[in-house]
Structures are given as structure tokens and as C-alpha cells.
Structure 1
Amino acid sequence: MSDFHQDGVITTLHNLGGRPVEALEEELKRFSRRRPMGLILPSLFSELEGPALTHIVDELAKVPYLTEIIIGLDRADRDQFLYARDFFSRLPQRHRILWNDGPRLKALDDELAAEGLSPEEPGKGRNVWFCSGYSLASHRTEAVALHDCDIVTYSRDMLARLLYPVAHPQFNYEFCKGFYARVADGRLNGRVGRLLVTPLLRSLQMIYGPSEYLTYLASYRYPLSGEFAMRSDVLSNIRIPSDWGLEIGVLSEVHRNYSIKRLCQVDIADNYDHKHQPLSEDDHTLGLSRMSLDIAKALYRKLATLGVQISSESFRTLKATYYRTALDMIENYYHDATMNGLELDRHSEERTVELFAQMVMDAGAAYLETPRDKPFIPSWNRIQSAFPDLLERMYEAVELDNEGKV
């Protein structure tokens, strides 16, 4: 059971009584008559071959209030796309698969690239962006949730709790972020959130001074969670990064566009486990090395847009401050884990902090070397201005793919 403390600038909705999922779903069914709801699932084809997504689909098949499910499928050839159509066919809700590597969607992407409007690199951000465009083109939903496809501990009450705040007709939230404890198999997980983001946010405040934006980010219990929900109009206006800075980028965009009174976070699970990324100490283009680099760059870019003067000298101080802050926090996590009978390897934690400290510096150097970098994919409002009929053509392309004309 969670506490009920409101300790940040955004509203926190707790799990105080273990309300049955059936009760939530009955309310959501009523809400759906006024505000139809959808779900976006960004997926790699390889995830269809694992146990997590099979269980997720089984759970989603029981959800009675969803109008539409949109699956973004990456790294799939024709035969794999056909396999995916069969894999998801047991979903009773209307569902469509975006074959992102198929000829129809690639042709649209080429048009965007010719105008400098296409996502610059493949990945989750690009996948989510195309799915968002299809959701807007479909016009079937007014509230949309998104979650990952590798959640080992998935249950459908996660989705119900995630959508409830933006679906409730008497609530005025435009955006809702999910949070949970990263505990599984007797271990305390969530290294990037615990050992990078939290101490880095504190260190940035110490080096660059008080910041309403940094205070806002620090209010999220788990800013890196891949689970969030929003009103459909949010999809039109936000720009999202195409790299590992996706989650931080989305939080930055909704902060830019909406009052904090329209944003909230909700406790969606007592514990959560998904695919774990390797530390990748020897290759900084992969794993947690790449993730930490992209997250740090996303924070630096946002601070720069807010008028913060960032220099190479300040990065050296930031690295030292971050390193000391993160090491101190390891002690806190160790005590918490020990009291709860959980495993926490202090040597591994310190090695991780050492890597992240280097990434804090490397991200600073990369930021200063490419000040004109454009990490954000353009908003769909901008796309529609440049290509007024593109959403309609995307909708038609997806329909043709899903009808079997491939």
C-alpha cells in the first residue's frame, strides 16, 4: 500500500485501498461513452517471440472499455508482419498494426525526409511518433495510453489506473504519468532512475541554481517510466525525441504546453519488471551507457532553452557534484533494500555511478560540440501544415497493410 503524501508540484494519485480492477473498468466503460479510449503499443518484432507480450495481449483481450489499440511494429520483414497480424488477431478490440518497415509507410517517411521532417534515427521515439499520427488520423479516441511491450509483471489494472485520471469526466488532467516500485526477483532495480536522474537533478540545481523546471521533474516518482496517458489533443502539439531521451522529452513538452495543474502521476503497480538493458561499459552507443548519455543531453538542451548558461567548466563541477551525490544515495538505497530483504550489490552500484559520471561529462561535450542539434521530431501540427493530407494517406496505408494487401 502506498502513502498519501503530496510532496511535489504535480498531483500524485496513490493506490490506497487495492480497489478491484473490475470496479475501475466498470467506471471506465461509462467514461468511454463520453471519452473513447485507445492504447498505443510500440513494439519490436523480437518482443512477439517472448513471454511478456503474449501475456500482455492475453490481459488486453479482457479489457472492456478500449475503442482502439495501435501497435507500432519495428524491425519486421513481410513474413514477420504477417505473423504479427496473426499474433494480435485474438484482440477483440479494433486494432491496427503500423508496419514501420513496410513499403507504404517507408514511402511516406521518404516524403517527410525530403523536407527535413522525418525522425532522424529509428527507435522507440520514431515508433511512438508514427503511432500518434495514426491515432490522430483515426479520430476514434479522445484519451490515449501508451506502455511498453516487455513488461513481465503486466496486469490490466495497470492500464485502468493509467487511463482513469485523463478519462474521468470531472477531472481536468491532460496528461498522466505512471509510476511504480522497480522491485522484482528480490532485487532493487531501476538503476538509471535511482543512480542517474535523481542525483543529477539535485546536482543541476546546486550548480545552476534553483529551477522551476528541475523542481517539476523531481516531482515525478519515476520520470523514466514508459507508461503514460493523455488527452488526444496533446498528441498534436508535443515534439518528442527520437533517442533514449523520449520520457524526459515528453515530460518537458507537456510542461511547456500545459499548466502543472493539468498534469498528474498515478501509482499503477506494487512492483514492475521488464527487460533489463546491459550496462555496456565498453560500447557507449548501447545499453545504459547510451541511455544515460541521451538523458543527460536532453536535460542540458532543455536548460539551455530556459536561459541557463552552460559551459565546459561547469560540466567538470557538475560531474564531481553528481558523483558525490550519487554515492551518498547508494547508502540510502542499500539501507532501504536491506530492511526490505532485497538484494543490492554496492560494488555494482558504484561501478554504475562511475559510468554515469563519465556520461554526464560526455553528454556535456556532445552538447557543446553540436549546439544546433535537432533532437525533437516535429509536432504533428507542423507536419499537417507542410503536408495537409499526410495523415489521411497514412491512415489509408495502414488500412491496406492490415487488410492483407501487402
Structure 2
Amino acid sequence: MDFQQGLITTIHQYGVTEDSLDLLRQGLRRKPTALLIPCLFEEFKRPALSLTKNVLQKLEGLNELIIALSAKSANEVSEAKRFFSDMPFPVHVQWTNGPAVIELLKSQEKNGLDLLGTPGKGWAVWQGIGIATRKSEVVGLFDADIKTFGLSYPVRMLQPLLDPSNGISYVKAFYSRLSQQTNALQGRATRLFVGPLLTSLEQIYGQGPFLKYLQAFRYPLAGEFAFTKDLGMNLRIPCDWGLEIGLLSEVYRNVRISRIAQVDLGVFDHKHKEIGKSQKEGLQKMCTEILSSVLRGLMEHQAETLTDSQLSTLEVLYKRVGQDRVKQFGLDSAVNNIPYDRHEEELSVQKFTKLLRPSIIQFLKSPVTQQLPCWARVLSCESNMQDDLVNAGLDLSLL
């Protein structure tokens, strides 16, 4: 790994010493810390979540583990609670789509708040933040499907936030996406879509502040991040696949760049998404929503929007940059003796190119999207909402 620094403070993994669990435990004693895992019940049937559980059992002193669970029945919620019953710290299983939760959130329509959102990770993250910030000063988030989860993940993610002298409010992960089965490169949405897209937009608009900020992150779509309570309370949460870019936009809006860090977690693998047969499926749908999130951020932070001629330019630029990246990743793979299917990568770039025009036209017709309001706003309407949400998430009596 290199030692370069840039706009965003980068915490490298030099491999000189092992990450210190003792130092993390000391930090956990200084600052109450929660971990949040948004989760579908189906993850309890896969080995990745068991691996995560076994690793987290070593984090004595953790203030709370919150499982933001989407489940079909009270029995599934009970099974999830049993799964985590032997942890050495409190665990709260939040039934995010439970009847009592739906009823509670729907009741806030009286205050003009739309809290129901679109079921998915964003909605689960929003609920989890509300619960975690009741008692904890630092919150870390990990997905439930990480196949390579190791102790270094929470150690490295949380440490920058546990010492106030660091002045850090937000930490974003980056890593090498490699398949455990084949060792092949993964992360096509980042490598072949977001990277070329940002490079192309920079050629159109120049290096504006928000674009420069997004390009400073080595893995802008990483779903693993950590933050302080005061930041978490002021984040609006997107409800689609633009969650990660949307959150980076919210962080940009709320804190100075000097208070942001990114940390290398090494090799990383989780479930892979197929590219999809149409623009409404798989990675194509995901990238459509990511594109909207990027364009919305440019509107908010740089007052930039695409004209018809710029859209045509973007199509040409993106395809050229994407094809160049395919060649670069091919050489990178060859020297590292890992498999690389150049034809499939080229096909991905072709499909991503074709979604640009219809996606952008649709976005420009309706650029405003639903975002769940920040918790600071919610509590200004209902001061007990966090506790009410916790109780509703535990209530199985309505079934």
C-alpha cells in the first residue's frame, strides 16, 4: 500500500503491526459506542453473519449492538434474538417492518413527517441511527453479508473516532474487492461506473469542490462507515441504492473535510449482484439510482446541471473512460495472476453507457427524491420518538 495523503485523511494498512484490540477496548471505555447491522432475515441462514457474530464477541465493552432486521414474522424476530443471546454486551433486535413500528411511524403524518420510506437498507439505517444515538457517542455500521469480516474491521473503523484529539467525525472504509472463490476483481459499480462517471463529469464541469470531494474517496460506494452522535443526528437518509453517495453528500453538507477520514480494511468480499437483464434490474438499477444521487449532489453543492449537449458529451466521455479502465484493470489482474474476463467487463461498460441518457432525462424531470428526515428534526416534533421506536421494535403483541 502507498502512503499518499490527499483531500480526505487516509489511514493506510501498512501491515507492520497487528491492529490492537486492547487499544480499542480502552477507547470503548472512554466513549460509549454502538455497532449497527442492517439485516434481512435470510442472512441468518448464511455463514457470513455467523462469522461477524464470532468476531464481535471479542469486543467487550461495546455499549450496544443494534440489528435493524427486516422480518416476515415474530418468529423470525425471536430467532434473531436467540442467535445473538450470548453476546457479552446488550443487543437490540429492531423489527424495522413490524406492525407496531409501522403504526408508530405512520402516526407521525400528523406532524407532516413521512417516515415510512421505501423498505430497504436506507430505512433500516435511519431506524438504527435513531436507536443507537440514544445512549452512544460513536456509531459504526457494517453490512450483514461480509464474508471476510475480521477483527481489524471494527478496530480500524472505530479507533479514529474514539480519541477526541483526532478531531474526526466520520470514517469511511475502503478495500480491495476480491472474490473468495475465484480471487477475481469485484466491485463493478465502483470500478466501471462511478469512477469513470466522476472522471467524465470533471472533464465537463472542471474540478468543482463536490466532485473533488467524491473523487477523494477510494471506495465511495463502501457500505461500511462510522460517525459521531452529533453528525448522525443531522443526517438525512436516502431510501434507494444512492444511499452511500447520498450519505457522502450529507456528510459534505454537515462537517468540514478535515474531520473526515477513510480507512483501509484490506481484502473484502460480500454478496455479488448480477448486472441485470434490463435497466430496472441488478447493477443497472443500482447504477441508475447512484447516478441520480451524484447529479443531485452536484445540484445541491455546485449548482450544476446537465444540458442536452453536455449529456451527449458525457455519453462519449464515459464510454471512452470506461473502456480505458477495463484495459487498466486487465493489466492489473494479469500482473497479479488473477482471472479477468475483459469481454464481460466491456459488456458492463456498454450497458452502463446505455442507461445514462434515459436515467438522466428521467432524473431531470423529477430531481427531488425522498429522504428520511434527520433525527434532530424528528425529535423537535416528538421528543420521545427514539424510545417509542425502541419499544415498538420490541413489541410482538400485535400479531
Q: Scaled by the length of structure 2, what TM-score is found?
A: 0.95
Q: RMSD of the TM alignment (CA)?
A: 1.7
Deviation string 1:146-188 (CA, Å, 9 cap, x unpaired) is 0100011111211110101111232110000011111223201
Q: Does 1:299 align with 2:294?
A: yes
Give, as a single letter, the amino acid of the residue that structure 2 aligns with 1:237. N
Give, as a single letter, the amino acid of the residue that structure 1 aligns with 2:321. T
What's the CA shift for 1:145?
0.4
Q: Distance in 1 between matches of 2:17 and 2:109?
A: 48
Correspondence for 1:249: 246
Correspondence for 1:5: 4
Q: Distance in 2 between matches of 1:292 and 1:168?
A: 36
Q: Distance in 2 between matches of 1:97 and 1:355?
A: 39
Q: What SS is found at the alignment partner of 1:277?
A: coil
Contact 2:94 2:394 in 1 (8 A): no
Correspondence for 1:377: 372
Correspondence for 1:177: 172
Correspondence for 1:133: 130
How many pairs were matched up? Answer: 395
Give, as a single letter, the amino acid of the residue that structure 1 aligns with 2:298. L
Q: Distance in 2 between matches of 1:360 and 1:237?
A: 32
Give, as a single letter, the amino acid of the residue that structure 2 aligns with 1:10. I
Q: 1:152 to 1:31 in 2, by over 3 A?
A: same
Q: 161, 172, 196: which is aligned to 1:199?
A: 196
Q: Distance in 1 between matches of 2:286 and 2:109?
A: 25
Contact 2:238 2:372 in 1 (8 A): yes
What's the CA shift for 1:303?
0.8
What's the CA shift for 1:34?
1.9
Q: Runs of 4+ in structure 1 displaced over 3 angstroms?
A: 398-401
Contact 1:293 1:362 in 2 (8 A): no
What's the CA shift for 1:310?
2.3
Q: Distance in 1 between matches of 2:108 and 2:146?
A: 32
What's the CA shift for 1:30?
1.5
Give, as a single letter, the amino acid of the residue that structure 2 aligns with 1:358. K
Q: Distance in 1 between matches of 2:282 and 2:323?
A: 21
What's the CA shift for 1:405?
9.2
Q: Distance in 2 between matches of 1:392 and 1:214?
A: 39
Correspondence for 2:155: 160
Q: What SS is found at the alignment partner of 1:89?
A: coil
Q: What SS is found at the alignment partner of 2:38?
A: strand
Contact 1:312 1:365 in 2 (8 A): no
Unaligned stretches of 5+ in structure 2?
none
Correspondence for 1:365: 361
Q: Distance in 1 between matches of 2:359 and 2:71?
A: 28
Q: Distance in 1 between matches of 2:113 and 2:309?
A: 34
Structural mapping, 1:6-405, within 5 Å: 6=5, 8-21=6-19, 24-113=20-109, 115-136=112-133, 138-139=134-135, 141-184=136-179, 185-269=182-266, 271-282=267-278, 284-305=279-300, 306-371=302-367, 373-400=368-395
What's the CA shift for 1:119?
4.3
Contact 1:186 1:341 in 2 (8 A): no
Contact 1:28 1:160 in 2 (8 A): yes
What's the CA shift for 1:240?
1.7
Unaligned stretches of 5+ in structure 1?
none
Contact 1:304 1:310 in 2 (8 A): no
What's the CA shift for 1:363?
2.2
Q: Distance in 1 between matches of 2:71 and 2:296?
A: 30
Q: Distance in 2 between matches of 1:145 and 1:228?
A: 6
Give, as a single letter, the amino acid of the residue that structure 2 aligns with 1:376. Q
